[in-house]
Amino acid sequence: MNRATRGPQVLSEHVGSLKSRVGGFVPGSHVAFRGCDLHGELKDMEWLALYVFGITGRRFSAAQVRLVNAIWSYTSYPDARLWNNRVAALAGSARSTGNLGMSAALAVSEASIYGRGIDIRAIEFLLGARRCEEAGGSLEDYARTELAARRSIAGYGRPLTSVDERIAPILALARELGLADGDHLRLAYRIEEMLLSGRWRLKLNYAGVVAALCADLGFSRREYYLFSFPAFLAGMAPCYLDAVERPEGTLFPVPCRMVRYEGVAPRTWHPASRDAA
C-alpha cells in the first residue's frame, strides 16, 4: 500500500478543509481564480477564454479563442432527433426543468460513439501517433493496433453519414486565423490518406479535425475532454424550449404498435419465494 496516498491518516489530514490549487472566494473581499483576481485582472476576459484558462491555467490569444469558440458553435445543432438533444427536448415535453433536461443531455453526450467518449480517444490517438512517429514507429502499425484493440479509430468515420458538413467551415476559419498549419492537423490528414488508401476506407471526421486543432493548441487529453464538455449545449436549449412550448407529451409520442416485442411468449408467473415459503 502506498502510504502517501492511502489509508485513514491521509483522510485525516484532509478533514474539514478544502485544499485548493485553483482558487476560491473570500466573502466580501475577492475571488481567486487560478491565482488571479476574478473581478480585477480577469474582469474583462471573455467567458470562453476564462473557461479555457480555468482548465489549462494558460492564456490563449484572441485568434485561438475565436477558433475554439467556433469549434463549439459549428457543432451546436438544434435538432431534437439527436440523442443527447432529444433528452433535453423530452424533458421539456414531459414538463421537467430546463436545467435538469440540459444537464442530463450533457451527461449523455459522454457517449462512446460520439461526444466526449470519442473526443478523448480522438486526441489520444493523435497525440499517440505523434509520439509514435517521433520514436521512429510506423503509423500504419499504430493505426492497425488501434483498430485491432478498439475496432474503430476515434476521429475517423461517422455514425450517421460519410459527409461531415462542419469540416469545411472550421478549416476555413482555422486557415483565416493562421491556425491550420499545426503538426497534429497535418498528421491527421496523413493518417486519413493512409486509411482511405488501405482497406479501411475511413475518412477524417469533425471530431478528428477539432482534436487535431486543439492538440496543436497544446491541449492535453484531459484538458481537451473538459474543454469539449459544453460543445453541444447551444443546440440543446432551443430543443427544450420548442418542446416545452408545444402541448405536453407531444414530442415523439410512441403508440404501442411502435414497440416491436422480440422476447418470449406469454407465460404464467410462478411465485418463487413467498408463496413457496
Partner 1 sequence: MGLVQGAIVSEEVIRTRIWHEEPEPDNPFAAKTAYCHGYDVYGDMLGRARWSEMVYLLFRGEAPAPAEADLLETLAVALANPGPRDPSVHAAMCGGTCGSPAASSLMAALAVGAGNLSGGREVLAAMEGWEACGTDLEAWRGRFANPPQTAISVWPASEHPPGFDPHGMAAATPVLQALERLATLSPGPRLAWLARHRPQLEALAGCPLAFSGVAAAAFADLGMATEAGEMLYLLLRLPGAAAHALEQRGYGHKKFPFFSIEFDMAGEAS
Which residues ranging from 133 to 152 are in contact with partner 1 (CB under 8 A)? Answer: 149-150
Please state the closest distance from residue 254 (CB atom) to partner 1, in A.
7
Q: What part of residues 220-239 is at the interface with partner 1 (CB under 8 A)?
A: 221, 225
CA distance 183 to 84: 32
Q: CA 99 from chain center: how many Å?
A: 19
Q: In b/e form, how buried is each residue of 229-260, taking b as 16+ CB within 10 angstroms?
A: bbbbbebbbbbbebbbeeeeeebeeeeeeeee
23 or 238, CB closer to partner 1? 23
Cα–Cα nearest to 247, from 128, 97, 119, 94: 94
Q: Given the complex with partner 1, which of 8 and 178 has the nearer CB atom?
A: 8
Contact (Cβ atoms closer than 8 angstroms) between residue 79 and residue 85: yes
CA distances from 143 to 112, 186, 233, 261, 274 (A): 19, 16, 32, 40, 57
Under the binding rule (CB under 8 A), the answer on residue 247 touching partner 1 is no
- Confirm or reject binding of residue 117 to partner 1 (CB under 8 A): yes
Instruction: Show contacts with partner 1 in window 158-187 (CB under 8 A).
Output: 160-161
Task: Tell me which of 4, 5, 148, 247 binds partner 1, using CB under 8 A.
Answer: 5
Size of the chain, expressed as the number of residues it contains: 277
Please list every residue from 183 through 212 that binds partner 1, using CB under 8 A. Answer: none
Q: Is 67 in the site for partner 1 (CB under 8 A)?
A: no
Cα Rg of the chain (Å, integer): 24
22 binds partner 1 (CB under 8 A): yes
Window 77 to 106, contacts with partner 1 (CB under 8 A): 81, 96-97, 99-100, 103-104
Q: Is 6 in the site for partner 1 (CB under 8 A)?
A: yes
Candidate residues 4, 18, 135, 163; the one interacting with partner 1 per rule CB under 8 A = 18
Joined together, the cell numbers standing for residue 207 give: 471530431
Contact characters 248-267, partner 1, x per CB under 8 A = -----xxxxxxxxxxxxxxx
